[in-house]
């Protein structure tokens, strides 16, 4: 393992490794367009190396010399498990299996934070607030297989992503209806964390809890079913569950905005956020986001954006891989070299 940052040798394989899907591309050099590959389902392969060999390298016209992957979980040690999938990433082992000589492993929402800088406004939909303050702190969060969170700050003329595990913070009731719903939510070791509500399975968890409070037998078992029924206004329980989800997401986003004083904006990413934009534009989202007395006025000015680019994390990784000096990414303990 090495501790330096330095430039990576091209071609560079980049990958966004989530709990459900893995997305890959290869950067032939610092300027050419990326070579993109089909989305890989993590359950289809026993390891990351198998997925790369079977679904990427066999299709690639060039052989990568370096790898930069962002994984859904904390990066610690030489064996790195995903939080919500059975894969264990072994960077040093990739030298023999894939033939590369340099591997960098980041957190997946670190890559999403990098994407905030890499993507233009044409890839974002604004959900209220004023104009972002240049150079001010930013926050990115996204419900998906779990709930990812990262910060982004500007210092020493570089953007510095701050990875974390904010999706596992406690979340609690506030309104009388919340106090009815929360006792029916499924818990993990007695806790209701953000991920127990603000992810795909969390939406189903919320839907079942609302159904229990309402004395109704649940009809749906998949997040997409709940979302579709709610947006089409075909099921009152699904509608309330999605509204509850949106309100809890707004409260959490607002809390994180206070932590980072993110006057540069709050950015929602991932497939769920993209699919529920109409619900995010309902009044309850901004109301819950801004309800942070004594800082309500500051919160009203902070813009919220939905990142609409489907491969945002890859865009962030590509920006870092091509211009590592533009970003303050700490690679100590997260970079492995065969040299």
DSSP line for 1-44: -B----PPPSSEEEEEE-SSEEEEEEE-SSSSPPEE---EEGGG
Q: Is 221 found in the same domain as 82?
A: no
pLDDT band at 3 (very low <50, low <70, confident <90, very high): very low
Tokens (6 digits) for 36: 């993109």
Q: Is 157 found in the same domain as 77?
A: no
CATH at 77: 3.30.420.40
Calculate mean pLDDT across residues 212-226.
97
Q: Can you list the positions of beta strands (E) in the chain? A: 12-17, 21-27, 35-36, 40-41, 66-71, 80-81, 88-89, 102-107, 124-126, 138-143, 147-155, 158-163, 266-268, 304-307, 335-337
Which contacts qualify for 207-211: CB closer than 8 Å, 24 or more apart?
207/237, 207/238, 207/241, 208/184, 209/181, 209/182, 209/184, 209/185, 209/241, 210/181, 210/237, 210/240, 210/241, 210/244, 211/237, 211/241
Residue 20's pLDDT is 87
pLDDT single digits (tens) 301-314? 999 999 999 899 99
Q: Is 18 found in the same domain as 156?
A: no
CA atoms in the 13 A half-sphere facing the CB of 167: 27
pLDDT over 90 at 128, yes or no: yes
Q: Is 56 found in the same domain as 42?
A: yes
Residue carrying the six token digits 């790898």: 67
Which contacts qualify for 219-224: CB closer than 8 Å, 24 or more apart?
223/272
Q: Is 275 found in the same domain as 127?
A: yes
Which value, in Å, is the radius of gyration of the alpha carbons in the chain?
20
CATH at 124: 3.40.367.20
The continuous run of DSSP H or E covering 214 comes out as helix 200-214
DSSP lists the bridge partners of residue 145 as none
Q: Is 258 found in the same domain as 327?
A: no
Q: Is 161 found in the same domain as 44?
A: no
Residue 7 within any structural domain of the chain: no
Residue 2's pLDDT is 39
Q: What percent of the chain has pLDDT over 70?
A: 98
Residue 67 within any structural domain of the chain: yes
Residue 6's pLDDT is 58
Residue 4 within any structural domain of the chain: no
pLDDT over 90 at 180, yes or no: yes
Q: What percent of the chain has pLDDT over 90?
A: 86
DSSP line for 49-88: HHHHIIIIITT-SS--SEEEEEESS---SSSEE-SSSS-E
Tokens (6 digits) for 150: 């990262």
Distance CA 109, CA 70 (A): 8
Q: Is 226 found in the same domain as 98?
A: no
Residue 220's pLDDT is 97
Which residue range(s) make up the domain with 277? 120-307
pLDDT single digits (tens) 49-70? 999 999 999 999 999 999 999 9
Q: Is 155 found in the same domain as 58?
A: no
Number of domains in the chain: 2
Q: Is 182 found in the same domain as 106?
A: no
Q: Is 158 found in the same domain as 88?
A: no
Indicate the pTM of the whole model.
Answer: 0.90
Calculate mean pLDDT across residues 251-255.
97
pLDDT over 80 at 105, yes or no: yes
pLDDT over 60 at 5, yes or no: no
pLDDT over 90 at 319, yes or no: yes
Residue 4's pLDDT is 37
Q: Is 264 found in the same domain as 169?
A: yes
Calculate mean pLDDT across residues 190-206.
95
pLDDT band at 76 (very low <50, low <70, confident <90, very high): confident
């Amino acid at each position: 393992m090495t501790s330096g940052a330095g430039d990576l040798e091209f071609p560079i394989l980049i990958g966004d490794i989530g709990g459900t899907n893995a997305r890959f591309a290869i950067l032939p050099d610092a300027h050419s367009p990326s070579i993109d590959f089909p989305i890989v389902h993590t359950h289809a392969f026993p390891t990351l190396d198998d997925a790369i060999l079977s679904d990427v390298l066999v299709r690639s016209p060039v052989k990568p010399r370096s790898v930069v992957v962002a994984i859904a979980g904390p990066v610690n040690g030489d064996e790195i498990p995903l939080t919500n999938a059975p894969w264990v990433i072994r960077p040093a082992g990739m030298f023999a299996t894939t033939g590369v000589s340099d591997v960098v492993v980041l957190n997946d929402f670190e890559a999403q934070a990098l994407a905030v800088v890499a993507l233009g406004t044409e890839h974002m939909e604004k959900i209220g607030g004023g104009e972002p303050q240049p150079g001010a702190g930013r926050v990115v969060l996204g419900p998906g297989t779990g709930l990812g969170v990262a910060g982004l700050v500007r210092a020493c003329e570089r953007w510095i992503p701050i990875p974390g595990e904010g999706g596992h913070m406690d979340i609690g009731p506030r309104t009388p209806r919340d106090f009815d719903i929360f006792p029916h939510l499924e818990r993990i070791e007695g806790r209701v964390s953000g991920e127990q509500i603000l992810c795909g399975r969390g939406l189903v968890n919320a839907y079942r809890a609302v159904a229990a409070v309402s004395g109704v037998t649940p009809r749906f078992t998949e997040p997409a079913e709940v979302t579709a029924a709610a947006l089409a206004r075909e099921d009152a329980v699904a509608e309330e569950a999605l509204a509850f989800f949106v309100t809890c997401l707004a409260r959490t986003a607002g809390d994180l905005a206070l932590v980072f004083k993110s006057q540069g904006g709050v950015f929602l990413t991932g497939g769920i956020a993209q699919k529920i934009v109409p619900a995010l534009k309902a009044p309850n989202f901004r109301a819950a986001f801004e309800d942070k007395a004594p800082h309500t006025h500051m919160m009203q000015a902070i813009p919220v954006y939905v990142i609409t680019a489907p491969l945002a994390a890859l865009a962030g990784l590509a920006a870092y891989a091509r211009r590592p000096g533009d970003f303050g990414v700490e690679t100590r303990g997260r970079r492995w070299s065969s040299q």
